[in-house]
Amino acid sequence: MKSGQNVLEVGCGPGFFTIPAAHIVGKEGKVYAVDTHPLAIERVQNKINKAGINNVSLIHANASETGLPDQSINLAFMFGLPYIQGGLDSLLTEMYRIFKPGAILAFQKSRGSKEKLIKEVQQKGFSYLDKKGRILIFKKES
């Protein structure tokens, strides 16, 4: 993540990563924080209002239907998601659609086989790059 990027936080929850991400992307960048739970969205809205941050857009939706434009995201991260509503397949289809060529997907593996997860993500057009702790890093094929 770096200054000027458009970043998607999938499953923002209480916004633990939202404000730090907003500071990193700066005024030229944008953070889109998506969650299906209305209280999570409300809580993050309160946090960004309190912090005076204006480069965050909240999306109350399933991450497999973000409504974001095609090829608009440089990086997406999914941390702490024990369950993906709508399933991994539909989520990855949406990520592929909204990702710019070369965009990065950072995925925290919470359970199941690492090899199976890598294979599923690769089948959707992403290359596996690296593993940092429990975070798997993928890149959208051009």
Q: pLDDT tens-digit profile of 90-133?
A: 899 999 999 999 999 998 866 677 888 899 899 999 999 999 98
Q: Is 98 part of any domain?
A: yes
Identify the domain containing residue 32 by its residue range: 6-140
Q: Is 20 part of any domain?
A: yes
Q: Is 102 part of any domain?
A: yes
Check residue 113 and give its pLDDT: 78
How many independent structural domains does the chain possess? 1
Q: Which long-range contacts (CB under 8 A, 24 or more apart) does 63-69 make?
A: 63/8, 63/10, 63/11, 63/34, 63/36, 63/91, 63/94, 64/90, 64/91, 64/93, 64/94, 65/94, 66/8, 66/32, 66/34, 66/94, 66/98, 68/8, 68/32, 68/98, 69/98
Check residue 138 and give its pLDDT: 96
Q: What is the CATH number of the domain that holds 119?
A: 3.40.50.150
Q: Is 1 part of any domain?
A: no
